[in-house]
Every structure is written in structure tokens, then in C-alpha cells.
Amino acid sequence: MISYLTPEIIFPDVHQADTDGLLAFGGDLSVDRLVLAYKSGIFPWFEKDQPILWWSPDPRFVLFPANLKISKSMKQVLKNSDFQVTINKDFKSVINECAKTKRDGQQGTWITNSMIDAYINLHEQGLAKSIEVWQDNILVAGFYGVDLNNGVFCGESMFTKISNASKVGFITFIQNTDYKLIDCQVYTNHLASLGAEDISRKDFLNFLD
């Protein structure tokens, strides 16, 4: 049974999630609730006009930095590209570009105005970061996620305007990180090609601990 969240900042046990990973609905997107969610292996994901939906899928799609795969062609791109990669230079632009990006099979954006405000609040508290990719001082790709200083980076969304730009940003970020795990949440071909894999929710929670 999917739980309804009251104003009290608490979540049900993640093992109560349904087969798709849906755990609860309702609540709010306050900093305190989001921090508790991510510490518990839970994240919000919903579309405009839906209630806030909270998820904890099993299996969990993750990337171990040591298992990062870089194709020969991508190595050439990294060597010869004129992209510049920065961290936390323009969080607001990155999340807004992610919100505007159209996704296959998606009616609208799940990054609603309330989500944008919530993650900007996390960023201002030092709990979310953005990675930007620039070309000629123009923002051409980027992604953002949550960092609770526990060795796990929880990736949220990515955008790109130029072929391979987001891959350059992601690979550069991974190659220069001390994270033990990158949470990719759910399967995508793009991240699978870079070495992401499924692990059990139990194993994922052990990493959070």
C-alpha cells in the first residue's frame, strides 16, 4: 500500500515500495524532507499536476567510478574538444536547462517550478551541485545532483545542446571525483554505455550508511 505523507517529516520503510519503486505520495519539498529522503535511498519524481511522488526502486542503477567505461572515440573527443568543465558556476541555469529538455515518452517536464526552487535551496545549503560544460563561454551541457557528504553523489538530471558535450562533462567529473558511488536511480542506455549497472536496493542502502 502506497503511503500518504503528512506534514511530519518521516518516510515509511523503503521495503514497502511497490514493484516499480513507488513508496509514498504527498508531503513537501523542504530541505529537511529532501535530506531525509536521500539519506534513506528515496527521491521525488513526479510531473506537473501530480502530487509529489517518492520512489525507492529495486534494483538501483549506479556507477562505480572505477568501472567508468570510455570508448576509443570518446577518448579522442576528450583529447581534442574545446569544452570547459566547471562545478557550481551556474546551478540555476543548469537546472532550468534540464527542465526545458524534452525527453522521449514524457508528456511534460518532471522538473516543475517547485522542484527547481527546492533544489536551488539545497544548492544554497551546500547539499546540491551542478556541473557545467561550456564552449566559447556558452553553456552547452550540464547536470546536477545531491551531495550529502557521505561519499555518494545522487545524479538528478542532465541536458546537452551539442553532441558528446554532456558525456565530456560527466566523464571529467567522474575522473576527478572521490565519490565511492554515483546514484543514477533508474536505467538509461546513455549511462549504461558509460559503465553504470544495477545493484540491489539493500546494497545501495549499505553504501548510504
The predicted structure's pLDDT at residue 37: 98
The predicted structure's pLDDT at residue 104: 53
The predicted structure's pLDDT at residue 209: 85
The pLDDT tens digits of the residues spanning 21-52 come to 999 999 999 999 999 999 999 999 998 888 99
Quickly state the pLDDT bin for 109 (edges 50, 70, 90): low
| Cβ neighbours around 37 below 10 Å, total | 23
The predicted structure's pLDDT at residue 101: 81
Give CA–CA dist 55/38, Å, rounded.
Answer: 10
Quickly state the pLDDT bin for 125 (edges 50, 70, 90): very high
The pLDDT tens digits of the residues spanning 131-184 come to 999 999 999 999 999 999 999 999 999 999 999 999 999 999 999 999 999 999
Q: Judge whether residue 3 has pLDDT over 50.
A: yes
What are phi and psi for residue 161, nearest 5 degrees?
A: -115, -10
The predicted structure's pLDDT at residue 76: 96
Does residue 105 contact residue 45 with C-beta atoms inside 8 Å? no
| Cβ neighbours around 207 below 10 Å, total | 17
The CATH code belonging to domain 3-58 is 3.30.70.3550
How large is the average pLDDT for residues 94-120? 82
Instruction: For the chain, give the secondary structure using H, E and C.
Output: CCEEECCCCCCCCHHHCCCCCEEEEECCCCHHHHHHHHHCCCEECCCCCCCCEEECCCCEEEECHHHCCCCHHHHHHHHHCCCEEEECCCHHHHHHHHHHCCCCCCCCCCCCHHHHHHHHHHHHCCCEEEEEEEECCEEEEEEEEEECCCCEEEEEEEEECCCCHHHHHHHHHHHCCCCCEEEEECCCHHHHCCCCEEECHHHHHHHHC
The pLDDT tens digits of the residues spanning 78-99 come to 999 999 999 999 999 999 999 9
The predicted structure's pLDDT at residue 47: 86
Which residues make beta-bridge pairs with 138?
135
Query: Quick one: which of 123, 130, 196 has its CA closest to 169?
Result: 130
Locate the domains of the chain by residue range.
Answer: 3-58, 61-208
What are phi and psi for residue 170, nearest 5 degrees?
A: -65, -50
Structurally, at CATH architecture level, domain 61-208 sits in 3-Layer(aba) Sandwich (3.40)
pTM of the model: 0.93
